């Protein structure tokens, strides 16, 4: 395909010479006799390159250049300026010209400039295309991923989304199970139909049952009129059964039937209803353990565990933290802020017991609270700075080893670490260890430190 060059110059002879020379080089040449014509020509069909004379009746070349760049035109523009006018040349480059040539110039020189500018712009377009492709790769429906385990999760999601297969998502709290469930729906043929989410843990047993299956008028005291359940509402779409490990055995039986036959009755009803739903379940519990404890039905487990997908905890994929941080800053419209390398190191070393949700909340807070554009270590929450995770309630930080421990040895070790980390500053070390300065001094004396 011939590449189109637009020549904008008010001197007729100049246009004619350039048009002859460039046509001979195999370019398709369009001419504009002033700034207005040039803008119209671009609006009709943007050229691959433009040769623009600076000196023209208003709008002059500089004005045309500014307007074109302001409108987002990225094709290369070579500016022709009067001899010796360096100020104009500099201003042209600042306004987005690819190059400038001072009149009178050599035709060969112009041809080389055009070739070079077209090559650069083709390269820029290619980089842009590759970047878009990359974006698509690591950004499936808002899911940021770079770690191999997460990329394979995305691959599985992509493969299984268009099918009707039941999917169960395993993963600690905050690892992105709901995000994955929504991606499965959006990438399926059911995407125009509803995505209905039910969180089993949030509801008491009887309420959960009526939520899932609905009820008929008079099914129980207060059932003044019939109400459809979530399964009915999800008809044609996807139902997301969150925290499936929290469902009581009685409701499990009913669920098993829907999964097997896609039929059920409303509470207090006799009509058998049929639904067409895709089931996606999620849990942060170990279902095998629940089965062993008699709290989860094995047959239901097999119905759900058709395509198991496990979302790894964030601490197992620290390489994704920079991407996630950028993503969340962007989400907070704080994309201009950047993180110091020390702060990033701390963010990557922290264990994130609350996983991606905790990271998201942390970044949200920092984006609001930090002053200036640089986020430093001092802007991070204390637990991230100290590298000590906050543990979930009931979770133990310290586990007694099989062979037992020597408590004094443990104490000595912590005292040493405290002193190390505070650079030998006793009051600071005392604070880290949760002791008064006096107590710490007594311990130091005891251990001869």
Ligand X SMILES: Nc1ncnc2c1ncn2[C@@H]1O[C@H](COP(=O)(O)OP(=O)(O)OP(=O)(O)O)[C@@H](O)[C@H]1O
Task: Using the minimum distance from each CB to Mg ion, give the nearer residue, 178 or 216.
Answer: 178
Q: Classify strands 214-215 and 227-228 as parallel, antiparallel or unpaired.
A: antiparallel
147 counts as binding Mg ion under rule CB under 5 A: no
Count of alpha carbons within 13 angstroms of residue 336, beta-carbon side: 5
145 counts as binding ligand X under rule CB under 6 A: yes
Q: What is the rounded CA–CA span in Å between residue 34 and residue 262?
A: 71
Looking at 85, 121, 173, 305, which residue binds ligand X (CB under 6 A)? 173
Q: Which does 145 bind (CB under 5 to 8 A by kind): Mg ion, ligand X, none?
A: ligand X
246 counts as binding ligand X under rule CB under 6 A: no
Count of alpha carbons within 13 angstroms of residue 218, beta-carbon side: 2
- Taking Cα atoms as reference points, which of 37, 31, 11 lies closest to residue 104? 11
Task: Using the minimum distance from each CB to ligand X, give the nearer residue, 334 or 440.
Answer: 334
Q: Which does 182 bind (CB under 5 to 8 A by kind): ligand X, Mg ion, none?
A: none
CB 150 → Mg ion: shortest distance, Å? Answer: 17
Q: Which does 265 bind (CB under 5 to 8 A by kind): Mg ion, ligand X, none?
A: none
Contact range with Mg ion by CB under 5 A, out of 107-115, 176-184, 222-230, 321-329: 176-184
Task: Using the minimum distance from each CB to ligand X, give the nearer residue, 75 or 170.
Answer: 170
Residue 242, SS3? strand
Q: What is the DSSP string of 86-151?
A: HHHHHHHHHTT-SEEEESS--HHHHHHHHHHHHHHHHHHHHHHHHHHHHHHHHEETTEE--SHHHH
Name the closest residue to ligand X (Cβ).
Answer: 176
Q: Which does 327 bind (CB under 5 to 8 A by kind): Mg ion, ligand X, none?
A: ligand X
Q: What is the rounded CA–CA span in Å between residue 421 and residue 256?
A: 55
Which residues fall within 8 angstroms of residue 286, CB to CB, at 6 or more apart? none
CB 354 → ligand X: shortest distance, Å? Answer: 8
CB 262 → Mg ion: shortest distance, Å? Answer: 25
167 counts as binding ligand X under rule CB under 6 A: no
144 counts as binding ligand X under rule CB under 6 A: yes
The number of residues in the chain equals 449
Q: What is the rounded CA–CA span in Å between residue 41 and residue 49?
A: 12
Looking at 178, 216, 364, 441, which residue binds ligand X (CB under 6 A)? 178
Burial class (CB in 10 A: 0-12, 13-18, 19+), 264: buried
The total of other beta-carbon atoms located within 10 Å of residue 287's CB is 22
Q: Classify strands 238-242 and 49-53 as parallel, antiparallel or unpaired.
A: unpaired
178 counts as binding Mg ion under rule CB under 5 A: yes
Contact range with Mg ion by CB under 5 A, out of 110-118, 178-186, 260-268, 347-355: 178-186
CB 179 → Mg ion: shortest distance, Å? Answer: 8
Residues 314-373 touching ligand X, rule: CB under 6 A, are 324, 327, 356-357, 360
Looking at 210, 284, 351, 362, which residue binds ligand X (CB under 6 A)? 284
- Taking Cα atoms as reference points, which of 322, 317, 145, 304 lies closest to residue 157? 145
Write out the residues near Mg ion by the rule CB under 5 A. Answer: 178
Write out the residues near ligand X by the rule CB under 6 A. Answer: 142-145, 171, 173-179, 284, 324, 327, 356-357, 360
């Amino acid at each position: 395909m011939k590449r189109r060059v637009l020549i904008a110059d008010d001197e007729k002879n100049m246009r004619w010479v350039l048009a002859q020379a460039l046509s001979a080089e195999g370019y398709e040449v369009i001419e504009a006799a002033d700034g207005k014509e040039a803008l119209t020509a671009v609006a009709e069909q943007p050229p691959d390159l433009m040769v623009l004379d600076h000196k023209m009746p208003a709008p002059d070349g500089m004005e045309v250049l500014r307007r074109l760049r302001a409108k987002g035109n990225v094709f290369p523009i070579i500016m022709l300026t009067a001899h010796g006018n360096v100020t104009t040349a500099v201003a042209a480059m600042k306004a987005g010209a690819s190059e400038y040539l001072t009149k009178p110039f050599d035709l060969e020189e112009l041809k080389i400039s055009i070739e070079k500018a077209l090559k650069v712009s083709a390269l820029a377009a290619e980089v842009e295309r590759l970047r878009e492709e990359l974006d698509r790769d690591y950004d499936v429906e808002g899911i940021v991923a770079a770690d191999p385990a997460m990329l394979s999760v995305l691959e599985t999601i992509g493969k299984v989304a268009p099918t009707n297969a039941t999917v169960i998502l395993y993963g600690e709290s905050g690892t992105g199970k709901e995000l994955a469930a929504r991606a499965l729906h959006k990438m399926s043929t059911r995407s125009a139909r509803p995505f209905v989410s039910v969180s089993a843990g949030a509801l008491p047993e009887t309420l959960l049952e009526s939520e899932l299956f609905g009820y008929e008028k008079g099914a129980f005291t207060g059932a003044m009129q019939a109400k459809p359940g979530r399964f009915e509402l999800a008809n044609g779409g996807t139902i997301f059964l969150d925290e499936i490990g929290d469902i009581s055995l009685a409701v499990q039986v009913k669920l098993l039937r829907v999964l097997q036959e896609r039929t059920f009755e409303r509470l207090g009803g006799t009509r058998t209803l049929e639904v067409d739903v895709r089931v996606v379940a999620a849990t942060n519990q170990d279902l095998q353990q629940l089965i062993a404890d008699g709290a989860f039905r094995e047959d239901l487990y097999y119905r759900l565990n058709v395509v198991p997908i496990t979302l790894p905890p964030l601490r197992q994929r620290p390489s994704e933290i920079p991407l996630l941080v950028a993503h969340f800053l962007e989400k907070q419209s704080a994309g201009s802020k950047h993180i110091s390398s020390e702060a990033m190191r701390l963010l990557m070393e922290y264990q994130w017991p609350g996983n991606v949700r905790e990271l998201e909340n942390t970044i949200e807070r920092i984006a609001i609270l930090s002053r200036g554009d640089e986020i430093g270590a001092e802007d991070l929450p204390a637990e991230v700075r100290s590298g000590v995770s906050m543990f979930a309630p009931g979770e133990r930080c310290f586990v007694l080893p099989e062979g037992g421990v020597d408590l004094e040895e443990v104490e000595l070790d912590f005292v040493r670490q405290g002193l190390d980390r505070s650079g030998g500053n006793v009051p600071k070390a005392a604070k880290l260890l949760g002791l008064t300065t006096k107590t710490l001094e007594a311990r130091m004396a005891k251990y001869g430190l």
